[in-house]
Structure 1
Amino acid sequence: MSDTDDLAGLLRRIRRVADLSQRDLAAVSGVPQPTIAAAEAGTRGLDARRLARLARVAGLRLVLVDAEGTEVAPMDADAVRDEVGRRYPAHLDTRHGDEGWWHGPHRYDRPPVTYTFTRDRRHRDDVRRLRGTPPDHQRPQPGDGLAERAAARRAAARQAREEERRRRLDAGELAPAALGFDCSCPPACDELDDRSGPPRHAGDCACGCDLS
């Protein structure tokens, strides 16, 4: 069965369910009767918006289904967009702008963005093999801002450093600090510590709270 036969059959099904002639369907839907007649005759096509409008008259709707007959939802209209409100390419995957920041020639002369997408399809495919294919682009969430995410990373680094200090104290690797001692690590320590091993301190850190 050809696409034109499918379309003609769908239009006839719509009219049968709605119990309308071509002329009546045209009057209700606003789609010209000659357009409906030509599509039913297979001499011209019909765009999806008009077909959806005709289907609604009969209480029907257009859907996509996969090979198993399961309905496939449209992509999320509320997914993240770029800085000027444009949608990201549907076939690529979005991510936070500070996550795996690319190392292209414009790394430093373009301002960081809240969201971006993986431009290299080979890299995208490698990530998908490890993590699976996301069903959609991500939705904006509270805390997605670059400053908020940086603050969250610093807080996580401080917590990890404190947990490591307590572990070393409990293990007897560090002498107990004097009463009233307060950690005064500068922010540079948070940025330096990547949590891949023991806590790290910046060169100008006067605290060294976890060092023996």
Structure 2
Amino acid sequence: MAMDGKPEATERRELDVPRLVMRVRRLGDLSQRDLAGLVGISQPQIARIERSLRELDVRTLERVLDLAGLRLAVIDGDGNEVSPVSDNVILDHAGRRMPAHLDVRVPTDRPRRLLTDTRYDRPEPNSWYHHRDQRDLRRRELGLTAHTDQPTRADAEREYRRRLERRPHQATPGRSARVELEECGCPAACWGTKGCDDACTCRCGG
């Protein structure tokens, strides 16, 4: 324990659910029966939870804590709150997430080795990623870490727009050179394709 009474960064504390439930009842002036009615379980179950005879699932614990204006948080060793990964990350063509431990690149950030290896017999990938050895090499080159999140679809859209703005007078692959930049409303999925993606509402290259 530190001199100021706060736990040291390396101190590991288990979540004391029974006493947290009691804290909620104390802050909210709730009896066991009151709390049971609010969260939809019986009073004997609340009693068993407070006596460590019954476990409480995380979702129900969050509901209990919310009654007193409290919330669960994941904290790292330095006391900083850790947020979950975004639910808007880039997906593959089957709607699956990319491997969580790998570093994903947006569609326009095409790996060098693929610049001359265009495949016309399959859809353009929604993103790119490397396996661990190449991933670690790229992390060292670019200063990336495991704390650098995978890009979201919004990130891919911004990168697509940024690249278009860097060459506003050039035709985008698969599109007519007559299309003005300000008229295009295509999502990143249209980049590099022979026309617009099925979900595109712009249809400038359709």
Distance (Å, rounded) in 1 between the aligned partners of 2:68 and 2:135: 43
Deviation track 1:149-204 (CA, whole Å, cap 9, x = no partner) reads 8x849949x7xxxxxxxxxxxxxxxxxxxxxxxxxxxxxxxxxxxxxxxxxxxxxx
The correspondence for 2:132, drawn from 121, 139, 143, is 121
Cα distance change of structure 1 residues 22 and 78 upon mapping to structure 2, 3 Å threshold:
same
Contact 1:29/1:57, CA 8 A, preserved across alignment: no
Deviation of 1:49 (Å): 0.9
The correspondence for 1:138, drawn from 104, 129, 151, is 151
Ranges in structure 2 where 5+ consecutive residues have no aligned partner: 1-11, 171-206
2:202 is matched with which residue? Answer: none
The correspondence for 1:100, drawn from 89, 97, 111, is 111
Deviation of 1:64 (Å): 0.9
1:68 is matched with which residue? Answer: 78
The correspondence for 1:19, drawn from 24, 29, 32, is 29
Cα distance change of structure 1 residues 49 and 155 upon mapping to structure 2, 3 Å threshold:
same
Contact 2:106/2:151, CA 8 A, preserved across alignment: no
Cα distance change of structure 1 residues 154 and 75 upon mapping to structure 2, 3 Å threshold:
closer
The residue correspondences of 1:29-178 to structure 2 (distance < 5 A) are 29-97=39-107, 99-100=110-111, 110-118=122-130, 120-131=131-142, 132-133=144-145, 134-141=147-154, 144=157, 152=164, 155=167
Distance (Å, rounded) in 2 between the aligned partners of 1:16 and 1:139: 42
Cα distance change of structure 1 residues 75 and 13 upon mapping to structure 2, 3 Å threshold:
same
Contact 1:114/1:144, CA 8 A, preserved across alignment: no
Contact 1:31/1:50, CA 8 A, preserved across alignment: no
Contact 2:106/2:156, CA 8 A, preserved across alignment: no
Cα distance change of structure 1 residues 142 and 77 upon mapping to structure 2, 3 Å threshold:
closer
Structure in which a larger fraction of residues adopt helix = 1
Contact 1:29/1:54, CA 8 A, preserved across alignment: yes
- Normalised by the length of structure 2, the TM-score is 0.57
Deviation of 1:7 (Å): 1.7
SS in structure 2 of the partner of residue 71 of structure 1: coil
Deviation track 1:15-65 (CA, whole Å, cap 9, x = no partner) reads 222221222111112244344333322223222111111111111111111
Deviation track 1:61-93 (CA, whole Å, cap 9, x = no partner) reads 111111121222222223323334333333322
Identity of aligned residues (%): 38
Distance (Å, rounded) in 1 between the aligned partners of 2:45 and 2:86: 32
